Structure 1
C-alpha cells in the first residue's frame, strides 16, 4: 500500500487558516501496490491547539481521503513558548522494499501561503534529503518551524532528525523558557545526536533549522546546509558552512587529535568526510560535532524571504544568484510562483553540473513581520 503519512509525533498543529498542497512525483511502478495513489494531496485543517499540547497520533492518509484525530494530552506546566513543528514523511507496507519507499522522495513539492518546498533526487540511488515545515497562527502571533536535513551514508540519519529534532528542541524550550532559546536549540541538537548514536545506525546528516516566534527568527546549522535571507534584494547568509577547511574547524579537529586531509581539492576529516559538523557519523564522532551555531534576528520589513537549502544548491549557486532568481517570483501574491522559484533554483544547480540531492525551502518572511 503506497501512502502519504504526516507524522504528528509529538506535535502536528498547523493553522486552520492554512491548507497544504503536496505533490509526490514518482514512477507508477513504485506505487503499483497501492489501490489509490495520486500525485496531489490536499491537507484539510486539523483542529487548532497549542503547539506544546502534544498530539499523540500519526495521521496516515491516502490521496482520496484525509482524517485527523488528535488526542490532547495534559501538561504539567504552562507553555512558555510555542514552536510549531510537523514533518512530511512517507510510509509503506512492511513488504515494500526500501528502494520503493526512497523513490517516493524522488520529487516532492509543497506550496503554502507562507512557504514553498521543492525536493529532487540527484544521481544517487536513493534520496537522502528530508525537511520539516509547519506554520501556525496563534491569535495575532505567527509561528513556524522549518528544517532542511541532508543525509550522507544513507537516509537513516536524516529521517531520524526529521522525526526527533523538533521534539527535542520543544522539550528544551519548555523547560528553559524563551530567554534561553539559543541554549535550548543547542541542547536539542545534541540530544538528537546522542539518541541517534544509540540506534547503532550508519551515516549522518547536516542540518539547518529556522524557528519563527514573536516576530523573531532563530536560525541554526550543523554542517553545510545553509540559510540565506533577502534584505531588500541583497543576499545575506545567516549561517556559515561547517567544513574542515574552515580555519576554526580545522583547529578544533586537530586539537582533538584528528587531522584534515585534502583529496582532489576537497578537505576531509581524516580524509573521509567533507563536513565537520552534523548529527550522527559514529565512526568519526570524536571530531564531528553536533553542536549547532545559532543566530537570532528581529524580523524587520526589509527581510523579504528566507532560502534554506541543502548543499546540492549552494555548491553551484551563489547566495546573491539565488536571491536574484527567486525575488521576482516571491514578489507575486500567487503562491505557485514561489514554488516555481524553488524549482528554478534546483534546475539552475543541475544545469551547472550538480548531481547531488537538492532541497529548497523559501519562506516569505513578510508574513511573519509583526
Structure 2
C-alpha cells in the first residue's frame, strides 16, 4: 500500500514527532481468554523503527549565528547551491480501537442471567444484572437459609457483591451458611453458650474462615480467580426471630425499619473512611490514593474489607463489623442490599418504598431495584427484604 503526504503538512511538524511512539500490543481480557484482532498497522512496523525523536529540551537548542549582509558584487560569482534534501516524514499511525467482538458479547449475554427472584415465608429477594458496558455476567449472589444448621429457630440471610468476577461471591454464598452453622455449634460445644458475645464471635470466625477457604481454593487454580473479591452483609435471625445479628464487610448495607424510621445497622467500608485509611496506612506498604475523586486501596480497590482480594492482602481484610439487635414490636422490615441500590437510593427512601408493599415483598424488592435503575445505576443490584413481625422461624 502506498500513500502520498503533502509536503510541509503541519501534522508532521518536528514538534509532534515526539508523540509518535511504537504501539504496545493491545489486549482485551475476558474470563481468561484474549481477543487479539490482527492489526491493520502491521505493514508499517519497519517505518515506526525509523522515527527520529528530536530532543525537546531547551538546553539542547543553540541560537543561530547572526546573518551578515550580502555583498552584491559577490552574488554573481557564488556557485549555485545544491537543493536541500528533506527527510520524508514518517507516516501518521492511528491505532485501531480494539473492542470485544459483538458475537462474544451476545453469547455472554445469552448465557448469563439477567434477573433472579426468590420468595419465602416472610422474605423475598430480587437481583438484576447491571447494564454497564463491561458487565457480561451477574456478579451478585444472595442467600436465604431458613432452619440454619437444622435449627428451625434460626436463619441466615445475606447479600454478596462480587468484584473482579463472580467467583468470590459465588463461593461465599455456597459456603458461608455451612461455616456459620459450624462455628455456632463449636461455640456451644466449647462452653461459650449462645450469649451475644459468643454469637458475634462465631460470625466473625465464619467470615475469616470463608475468606481463608476461598483463598486456598483460588491458589490451587488460576491467578484470575485469586484476584476476585466480594463485599458481604449477613443477618442471622436467632431465637425464633427475637434476636438479629447483622455483620458486614465492604459496602453492602443492612437497613432496619424501626417504627417507619430507617436505621443503618452497618457502616460502608470504603477507602474514603478516615479510620479505614489510617488502618491501612499503618500497615507496611499500605497506601490509599485519591484516583479521580475516588479513594482506592493501592490505587486499585474502593472498598477496604471483604472476602478474597488476595492480591491486596493484608490491607483488605475479611474482618466484619457486627451489631446485635433485639427484635421488638417496632422492628418492621430489614433490607439487605448491594451498593448498586445504596449508591442511588437513600436509607429512608428505601424504607418508605418497601413499607408501601408490606403485603407483597417481591413487589417491594422490584420497586427498590427499579428506583435505582431509573436514577442511572448500571451496577448489579441485589435486594433482600425480611418482614420481621411475621416470625417465619416459629
Structure 2 residues without counterparts, runs of 5 or longer: 1-106, 189-193, 220-224
User: 1:160 matched to which residue of 2?
Assistant: 171
User: 1:206 matched to which residue of 2?
Assistant: 231
Secondary structure of the residue that 1:287 maps to in structure 2? Answer: coil
Structure 1 residues without counterparts, runs of 5 or longer: 1-97
Secondary structure of the residue that 1:286 maps to in structure 2? Answer: coil
From 337, 343, 346, the equivalent of 1:315 is 343
Deviation at 1:137, TM superposition (A): 10
Secondary structure of the residue that 1:154 maps to in structure 2? Answer: coil
Structure 1 residues 194-222: Cα deviation after superposition (integer angstroms, max 9, x where no partner) = 11111222300000001101110000000
Structure 1 residues 155-191: Cα deviation after superposition (integer angstroms, max 9, x where no partner) = 0101110111111111111111222111111111101
Kindly indicate whether residue 323 of structure 2 is the aligned counterpart of residue 305 of structure 1.
Answer: no
TM-score normalised by L of structure 1: 0.69
Secondary structure of the residue that 1:329 maps to in structure 2? Answer: coil
Q: What is the 5 A alignment of 1:255-274?
A: 255-257=282-284, 258-274=286-302
Deviation at 1:138, TM superposition (A): 11
Kindly indicate whether residue 156 of structure 2 is the aligned counterpart of residue 148 of structure 1.
Answer: no
8 Å CA contact 1:102, 1:127 repeated in 2: no
Q: State how far apart, in whole Å, the 2-side matches of 1:168 and 1:140 are.
A: 14
Kindly indicate whether residue 392 of structure 2 is the aligned counterpart of residue 364 of structure 1.
Answer: no
Structure 1 residues 299-328: Cα deviation after superposition (integer angstroms, max 9, x where no partner) = 101000100000000000000000011101
Structure 1 residues 327-352: Cα deviation after superposition (integer angstroms, max 9, x where no partner) = 0101x2xxxx2111111111110111
Q: State how far apart, in whole Å, the 2-side matches of 1:102 and 1:271 are.
A: 33
Q: State how far apart, in whole Å, the 2-side matches of 1:231 and 1:184 are.
A: 26
Q: State how far apart, in whole Å, the 2-side matches of 1:213 and 1:279 are.
A: 24
Q: Which runs of 4+ in 1 moved over 3 A?
A: 98-102, 136-142
8 Å CA contact 2:148, 2:181 repeated in 1: no
Q: State how far apart, in whole Å, the 1-side matches of 2:248 and 2:375 are.
A: 25
Deviation at 1:140, TM superposition (A): 11
User: 2:34 matched to which residue of 1?
Assistant: none
Deviation at 1:99, TM superposition (A): 4.1
8 Å CA contact 1:136, 1:142 repeated in 2: yes
Structure 1 residues 222-277: Cα deviation after superposition (integer angstroms, max 9, x where no partner) = 00000000001000000001001111111100001311111222111011001000
8 Å CA contact 2:288, 2:298 repeated in 1: yes
Q: State how far apart, in whole Å, the 1-side matches of 2:152 and 2:177 are.
A: 20
Structure 1 residues 106-152: Cα deviation after superposition (integer angstroms, max 9, x where no partner) = 20111223101000000211100001103249999742210100000
C-alpha change, 1:203 and 1:187, in structure 2 (3 Å) is same
Kindly indicate whether residue 130 of structure 2 is the aligned counterpart of residue 112 of structure 1.
Answer: no
Q: Which structure would you say has the larger Rg?
A: 2
C-alpha change, 1:102 and 1:245, in structure 2 (3 Å) is farther
From 207, 210, 213, the equivalent of 1:195 is 213
8 Å CA contact 1:205, 1:279 repeated in 2: yes
Q: State how far apart, in whole Å, the 1-side matches of 2:260 and 2:386 are.
A: 15
Moved more, 278-287 or 194-203: 194-203
Q: State how far apart, in whole Å, the 2-side matches of 1:173 and 1:101 are.
A: 41
8 Å CA contact 2:340, 2:377 repeated in 1: yes
C-alpha change, 1:176 and 1:136, in structure 2 (3 Å) is closer
8 Å CA contact 1:142, 1:368 repeated in 2: no
Kindly indicate whether residue 267 of structure 2 is the aligned counterpart of residue 240 of structure 1.
Answer: yes
C-alpha change, 1:125 and 1:323, in structure 2 (3 Å) is same
User: 2:245 matched to which residue of 1?
Assistant: 218
Structure 1 residues 75-111: Cα deviation after superposition (integer angstroms, max 9, x where no partner) = xxxxxxxxxxxxxxxxxxxxxxx9479613x201112
From 310, 313, 316, the equivalent of 1:288 is 316
8 Å CA contact 1:260, 1:267 repeated in 2: yes
Q: State how far apart, in whole Å, the 1-side matches of 2:181 and 2:159 are.
A: 17
Q: State how far apart, in whole Å, the 1-side matches of 2:294 and 2:109 are.
A: 33
User: 1:186 matched to which residue of 2?
Assistant: 204
